[in-house]
A = this chain, B = another copy of it.
């Protein structure tokens, strides 16, 4: 009747699978009685216990039912056609490798990562924290890391934020989603155009509506914001991506005053403020009005994108709302990573690492701009961040520019690739992200 694989450790499981398959395929009909345990065991040459275990499993899963003193009967199971699954479409791996140099990516070269410090800290966190590492982390993150970030911001950026208002998230993208949940997805979010596409993409994925507003030479068009129904305005005022524009304090003040009168918020995305390569970082908008500004930053650029850590500072009112909404949820960043980063910040390692990175990028930037000059490109050096806009007047269209670069093995994007809604932007403007390239690569650069 049934087969049982004798070469398996789990004879009962083999028998159970066999019977289950027969039931599912309709070979044993609903209502049919199964053989008694003893007779089946005898006919198969297995122990009664094996049959008993198989029947118990079938019973637990609802394939059969037991009738007292009369045996086991097959349940009414809607037969499911078990179809061979067709494998998914082929892996959609991109052809990134065809390029020798990628000027579109934003992560630092792995060689610059303070690997030995990091492994040292990991070891000490393991021995210092021990089993505490297994504890559930409150929704807003580990207290030690929250404090370490607040201290760091005070030292490096002059931001005086209460540590409890610092919220740890699994990278900036995750925090965009949290902000939608916090402000409400019925709200309208103004975003910069051109801008970082992932911002509006993530807001939309989270169900919010976005209103792209043009970027002028002082940042987002403030008048357009004032005339809009936007509740929140997402800006990168210290170094707009991709235009590189710095928003003067007068425009920031207008954005804040509008938030005050309309009841909304300014979201300050400070994604690369650590990389002001000359002078101190520009003062934060958050510092001007902590009640109306949500401050956002990430460690993806300064450490590694694989680490997935970012943070937000929330105004009082929003922090209270955050605690109400999320207090039952756990923080998404593993405690282990949070403790290691806290040790990195508190030990001064992070700032030493940053200063090394800045010195490195100063050289890269200088070489790159000199090289671009050779190619007849005009650059506008704001001294900030890890990308530069290079205008190539010799190319009639962006496609021509990108194709020429591609032929030389270089991947670039143009300003027009970052528009978030139809907008006239100058052509021939390459957005060159130099965070991932080496000196040698610059020397061999040819367009």
Contacts and interface: CB of A to CB of B under 8 A. Distances in A.
Interface of A: 10, 13, 16-17, 20, 24, 53, 56-57, 60-63, 75-80, 82-83, 85-89, 91-92, 107, 110-111, 113, 115, 119, 122-123, 126, 130-131, 133-137, 158, 162, 164-165, 170-171, 173-174, 177, 181, 185, 197-198, 201-202, 205-207, 218, 246-254, 256-257, 279-280, 282-283, 288-291, 300, 304-308, 316, 319-320, 323, 325, 327-337
Contacts of A134: 107, 110, 113, 304-307
22 contacts: A20-B283, A60-B282, A61-B248, A77-B249, A77-B253, A78-B250, A86-B316, A88-B320, A107-B134, A107-B136, A113-B131, A134-B305, A136-B306, A137-B306, A170-B332, A198-B328, A205-B325, A206-B207, A207-B207, A306-B330, A308-B332, A334-B334
A333 B314 CA distance: 23
Q: How many copies does the complex hold?
A: 2
Contacts of A306: 133-137, 330, 334-336
A246 B61 CA distance: 7
B247 A62 contact: yes
Contacts of A207: 185, 206-207
Contacts of A173: 329-330
Which 6 pairs, one residue from A and one from B, show the smallest C-beta to C-beta distance?
Answer: A62-B248, A134-B304, A110-B131, A78-B253, A170-B332, A306-B335
Contact of A332 (B63, B79, B174): B174
B288 A80 contact: yes
Contacts of A130: 115
A161 to B, nearest CB: 9
A63 B251 CA distance: 10
Contacts of A304: 133-135
